[in-house]
């Protein structure tokens, strides 16, 4: 048995990496081996919501966190002052080194082979059952029993710069036409989406003294739970703002923009608008922030994040030179828009398998998402489930309360998307339980099920979990009284001790500041010392401890609400269950159920427009008409 992963972007890397780590013979097929791991847009990883997903895929054995740590040149924790639940790691990666490291990682992975070529189509024995393999444009054939399709922007890709239209999947690379047409011919619901990039500038032509520097954290914190640390030199980014001249350059040339000139068919990302969109849709804003980001330690190329555009090159140069410090700037590569085929994710099953195409999983921008991290999160789950399907095992389906990856996939396959989907923390209902720094422990049982982490890596997470449990036990057992060693700390916080309290109860008091908490924890035996081979950051662990103790009541209430929701998530709606003529359901509900094809009652309950009353009635109809298949919670993760 073999899995073929089509596409060497961030979804493809994760799918191929995890399948190989799970012991499955795997082939990564890509148009250009030198472009594996290419960062076509800005060379950054993570952020709020996105950084959460990188930590989660790292906890399962993914590659993105480790690659970022090994090739990152600027690290920051965003929302550091706003609490553990919403803070997110972000890093600026060295674009050149990241790409080289990604290829090297895959080349040295057991069970994994690389192949350069273009997929022309998939072949089945009978209709779309019994997958035989992948046909290549050069006439060769790769036999396999499962395919993970991670085509990015290549399916019928078209680049737009002003009025110019170029058939391409990425700058300098051809589009994939034959495979796109095969998928369309199969009747899959398809739509055009759009994304874009910013111009890249020669660093030597920028006056950095006029820009606002933005330094990384003094002590960079790794993404991966298993990284030894950050090894590359760290460099600053900078911030600049658009001017009135920038706005004039845009408004005077809107008719020359691909988008406003009527050349773009696809829908663009709402949360990453082009500079044209910013001035048109937010006319009240006097200026817009642009991030000046170094591409690599190996080159003098600078990326202007926030200046995505499809203007002609001469207008781009005028816009760039209107920025303070950029009066003499030279553009090395102009920005461009790109539109491509994606397929309605409502056609996917919860494991990201494509309904009706046996042995095929979709991941990444083909499903309507945007962003490296969103692609990687889908890639790792598609790779895991392709392997488990080949082995006759139940799929791994992450719940919305388990991971942001689970939130994203459930959103896609339950609600669909009419625009490029981007992960935001606001999309998750259970943010308190999804802190990214706890992803390793939270997903430990899933990681054991997947089997991609080494025994040493599993042991490291278990050791961290055990040490945290010991600290919690110490906090329950330690007594704070006027005569105890902790009494002085309570008095310093302005607390009056009568009958005393546990150390855990003391930490729940808002009067206990971080310095006071540090002083109290220093009195616990072994608090500050890291065990051999174990990462233990006392300040970081203190934050996690205080977060857990102070939000314990809220999390308990959330857990009670989740208990009822999980019951519906484990009641499966049979594939052959017909809703067209069921009594009591409105035509709107029937239409939504037929379009979305939910696999469980829980999934049905999250479809927009499906009321709780309709779900309850559907449950009753299942019980009286055809008995539902109740999933064993232990079998579906």
CATH code where residue 582 lies: 1.10.150.570
For the cut 60, the answer to whether the pLDDT of residue 631 exceeds it is: no
For the cut 50, the answer to whether the pLDDT of residue 627 exceeds it is: no
Residue 290 is assigned to a structural domain of this protein: yes
57 closest CA partner among 445, 636, 541, 443:
443
Q: Is 460 helix (H, G, I), strand (E, B) or coil?
A: helix
> What is the layout of strands, in order, in the sheet containing 289-294?
212-214, 237-241, 289-294, 301-305, 200-202, 331-333
| 343 in the same domain as 333 | no
58 closest CA partner among 403, 395, 363, 343:
403
Q: Are 81 and 403 in contact (CB under 8 A)?
A: no
Residue carrying structure tokens 């207008």: 315
For the cut 80, the answer to whether the pLDDT of residue 33 exceeds it is: yes
Total domains, the chain: 4
| 132 in the same domain as 25 | yes
Q: Tokens standing for 307?
A: 């200046």
Q: Are 274 and 256 in contact (CB under 8 A)?
A: no
Average predicted confidence (pLDDT) for the chain: 92
pLDDT digits (tens, 9 = 90+) for 385-419: 999 999 999 999 999 999 999 999 999 999 999 89
Q: Are 360 and 229 in contact (CB under 8 A)?
A: no
Q: Which of 337, 352, 372 is the last residue of a domain?
A: 337
Check which CATH number belongs to the domain holding 316 and give it: 2.40.30.260
pLDDT band at 39 (very low <50, low <70, confident <90, very high): very high
Phi, psi (deg, nearest 5) at residue 190:
-120, 150
| Mean pLDDT confidence for 570-593 | 82
| 244 in the same domain as 217 | yes
| Mean pLDDT confidence for 77-101 | 92
Q: What is the pLDDT of residue 20?
A: 98
Q: Tell me which range, 281-290, 477-486, 573-582, is most confidently predicted by mean pLDDT.
A: 281-290
Q: What is the pLDDT of residue 302?
A: 97
Check which CATH number belongs to the domain holding 531 and give it: 1.10.10.1800
| 304 in the same domain as 244 | yes
Residue 307 is assigned to a structural domain of this protein: yes
pTM: predicted TM-score of the whole model, two decimal places: 0.91
Residue 598 is assigned to a structural domain of this protein: yes
| 346 in the same domain as 320 | no
Q: Report how far residue 11's alpha carbon sits from residue 64's, in angstroms, rounded to the nearest whole number.
A: 10
| 229 in the same domain as 305 | yes
Residue carrying structure tokens 């760290």: 234
For the cut 80, the answer to whether the pLDDT of residue 88 exceeds it is: yes
| 349 in the same domain as 322 | no
| 162 in the same domain as 226 | no
Q: What is the pLDDT of residue 634?
A: 43
For the cut 90, the answer to whether the pLDDT of residue 215 exceeds it is: yes
| Mean pLDDT confidence for 7-16 | 98
Q: Are 53 and 72 in contact (CB under 8 A)?
A: no
Question: How many CB atoms within 10 Å of residue 123?
Answer: 15
Q: What is the pLDDT of residue 532?
A: 60
Q: What is the pLDDT of residue 587?
A: 84
Q: What is the pLDDT of residue 547?
A: 93
For the cut 90, the answer to whether the pLDDT of residue 108 exceeds it is: yes
What percent of the chain is modeled with pLDDT above 90?
75
Residue 637 is assigned to a structural domain of this protein: no
How distant is the alpha carbon of residue 418 from its chain centre? 18
Q: Which of 317, 337, 357 is the last residue of a domain?
A: 337
Q: Which of 450, 474, 496 is the last residue of a domain?
A: 450
| Mean pLDDT confidence for 177-204 | 96
Question: Who's near 407: CB < 8 A, 6+ residues apart?
Answer: 400, 423, 427, 428
pLDDT band at 569 (very low <50, low <70, confident <90, very high): confident
| Mean pLDDT confidence for 266-288 | 92
For the cut 50, the answer to whether the pLDDT of residue 81 exceeds it is: yes
Q: What is the CA radius of gyration of the chain?
A: 26
Q: Report how far residue 444's alpha carbon sits from residue 436's, in angstroms, rounded to the nearest whole number.
A: 13
Question: How many CB atoms within 10 Å of residue 267?
Answer: 17
Residue 80 is assigned to a structural domain of this protein: no
Q: Report how far residue 5's alpha carbon sits from residue 20's, in angstroms, rounded to the nearest whole number.
A: 11
Strand partners, 291: 239, 305
Determine the structural domain holding residue 67 and report its residue range: 3-42+54-74+85-194+339-450
Q: Tokens standing for 222?
A: 């790794």
Residue 49 is assigned to a structural domain of this protein: no
pLDDT band at 163 (very low <50, low <70, confident <90, very high): very high
| Mean pLDDT confidence for 248-269 | 91
| 421 in the same domain as 484 | no
SS (H, E, C) 485-506: CCHHHHHHCCCCCCCCEEHHHH
pLDDT band at 80 (very low <50, low <70, confident <90, very high): confident
| Mean pLDDT confidence for 438-445 | 96
Q: What is the pLDDT of residue 623?
A: 76
| 566 in the same domain as 536 | no
| 412 in the same domain as 509 | no
Q: What is the pLDDT of residue 263?
A: 85
DSSP 6: E
Check which CATH number belongs to the domain holding 99 and give it: 3.50.50.60
pLDDT digits (tens, 9 = 90+) for 491-547: 999 988 888 899 999 999 999 999 999 999 999 988 877 666 567 788 889 999 999
| 583 in the same domain as 538 | no
Q: Tokens standing for 1?
A: 């048995």
Residue 79 is assigned to a structural domain of this protein: no
| Mean pLDDT confidence for 297-313 | 96
For the cut 90, the answer to whether the pLDDT of residue 553 exceeds it is: no
């Amino acid at each position: 048995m073999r899995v073929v992963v089509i596409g060497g972007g961030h979804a493809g890397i994760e799918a191929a990496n995890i399948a190989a780590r799970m012991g499955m013979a795997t082939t990564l097929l890509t148009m250009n081996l030198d472009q594996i791991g290419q960062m076509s847009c800005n060379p950054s990883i993570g952020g709020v919501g996105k950084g959460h997903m990188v930590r989660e895929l790292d906890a399962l054995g993914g590659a993105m966190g480790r690659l970022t740590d090994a090739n990152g040149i600027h690290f920051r924790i965003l929302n550091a002052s706003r609490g553990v639940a919403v803070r997110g790691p972000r890093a600026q990666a060295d674009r050149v080194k990241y790409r080289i490291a990604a290829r090297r990682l895959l080349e040295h992975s057991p069970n994994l082979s690389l192949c350069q070529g273009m997929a022309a189509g998939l072949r089945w024995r009978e209709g779309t059952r019994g997958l035989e393999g992948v046909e290549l444009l050069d006439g060769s054939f790769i036999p396999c029993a499962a395919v993970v399709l991670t085509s990015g922007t290549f399916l019928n890709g078209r680049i737009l710069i002003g009025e110019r239209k170029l058939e391409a999947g990425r700058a300098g690379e051809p589009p994939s036409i034959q495979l796109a047409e095969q998928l369309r011919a199969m009747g899959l619901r398809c739509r055009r989406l759009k994304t874009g990039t910013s111009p890249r500038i020669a660093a030597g032509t920028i006056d950095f003294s006029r820009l606002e520097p933005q330094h990384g954290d003094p002590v960079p914190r790794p993404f991966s739970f298993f990284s030894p640390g950050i090894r590359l030199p760290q460099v600053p980014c900078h911030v600049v703002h658009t001017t009135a001249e920038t706005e004039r350059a845009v408004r005077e040339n809107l008719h020359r923009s691909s988008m406003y000139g009527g050349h773009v068919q696809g829908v663009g990302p709402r949360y990453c608008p082009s500079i044209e969109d910013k001035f048109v849709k937010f006319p009240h804003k006097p200026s817009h922030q642009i991030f000046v980001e170094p591409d690599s330690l190996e080159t003098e190329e600078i990326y202007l994040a926030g200046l995505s555009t499809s203007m002609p090159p001469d207008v781009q140069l005028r816009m760039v030179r209107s920025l303070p410090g950029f009066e003499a700037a030279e553009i090395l590569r102009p920005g461009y828009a790109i539109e491509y085929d994606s397929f309605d994710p409502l056609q996917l099953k919860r494991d990201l398998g494509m309904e009706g195409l046996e042995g095929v999983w979709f991941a990444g921008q083909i499903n309507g998402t945007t962003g490296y991290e969103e692609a990687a999160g889908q890639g790792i789950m598609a790779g895991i489930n392709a392997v488990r399907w080949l082995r006759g095992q139940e799929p791994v389906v992450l719940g919305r309360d388990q991971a942001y990856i689970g939130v994203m996939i459930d959103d896609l396959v339950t609600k669909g998307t009419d625009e490029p989907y981007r992960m935001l923390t606001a999309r998750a209902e259970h943010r308190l339980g999804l802190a990214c720094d706890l992803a390793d422990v939270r997903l430990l049982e899933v990681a054991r099920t997947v089997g991609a982490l080494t025994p040493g890596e599993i042991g490291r997470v278990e050791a961290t979990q055990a040490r945290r449990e010991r600290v919690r036990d110490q906090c329950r057992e330690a007594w704070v009284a006027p005569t105890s060693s902790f009494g002085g700390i309570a008095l310093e916080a302005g607390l009056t001790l009568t009958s005393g309290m546990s150390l855990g109860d003391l930490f729940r008091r808002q009067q206990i500041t971080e310095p006071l908490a540090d002083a109290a924890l220093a009195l616990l035996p072994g608090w500050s010392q890291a065990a051999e081979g174990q990462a233990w950051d006392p300040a970081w662990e203190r934050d996690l401890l205080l977060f857990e103790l102070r939000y314990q009541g809220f999390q308990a209430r959330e857990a009670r609400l989740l208990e009822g929701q999980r019951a519906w998530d484990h009641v499966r709606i049979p594939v052959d269950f017909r809703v067209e003529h069921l009594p009591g359901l409105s035509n709107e509900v029937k239409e939504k159920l037929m379009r979305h094809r939910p696999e469980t009652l829980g999934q049905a309950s999250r479809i927009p427009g499906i009321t709780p009353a309709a779900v309850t009635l559907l449950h009753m109809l299942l019980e009286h008409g055809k008995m539902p298949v109740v999933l064993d919670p232990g079998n579906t993760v």
